Amino acid sequence: MNQIYQIIYSHKIVQLSPEARAFKTAAKTYMPPMEFPKEARFKIEVEVHRDWYLKSDRTKLRKQDLSNLEKLLFDAIFEHMGRDDKALMVYSLCKVQDDKEFLKVEIQDLNEPE
């Protein structure tokens, strides 16, 4: 996800790109129902699995901006839970070399014992 926003100069607005909107919508369909106490504070760990190397040169990494993916994913998660993302206290995001492309997300309430 390299382009998260699009600018519509004629209307002087900035909005999510069609690709970003499609990602958020699709991401929510894969999320199970989640219920946490109102006072929950969250830790989220994300693994981004995919082939990170160029097909033409397996020694070079693709240009892939994880910060845009991070923002969209966290927005989708918290919208799905009906929460404000200010309750996110700790997170990690890592790339994992894999032939398959998928996300692994773990969500923990920091107020609950492990």
The DSSP output letter for 85 is G
Cα separations (Å) of 8 from 1, 41, 61, 82, 113? 19, 36, 32, 29, 47
| Cα 4 from Cα 21, distance rounded (Å) | 9
Residue 2: predicted pLDDT: 55
User: Does the structure show a pLDDT above 60 at 1?
Assistant: no
Q: Is the pLDDT of residue 21 over 60?
A: yes
pLDDT in tens, 37-90: 999 999 999 999 999 998 889 888 888 778 888 989 999 999 999 999 999 999
Provide, for the chain, the percentages of residues in helix, strand and coil under a 3-state DSSP scheme, each rounded to the nearest 5: 25, 30, 40
Sorted by where each begins, the domain ranges of the chain are 22-109
- Residue written as token pair 């773990």: 106
Check whether domain 22-109 has CATH 3.30.1330.70, yes or no: yes
Model confidence, pTM: 0.81
Identify each DSSP E strand in the chain by its residue range: 5-8, 13-16, 42-50, 88-97, 102-109
pLDDT for the residue 106 = 95
The widest CA-to-CA distance across the chain, in whole angstroms, is 52
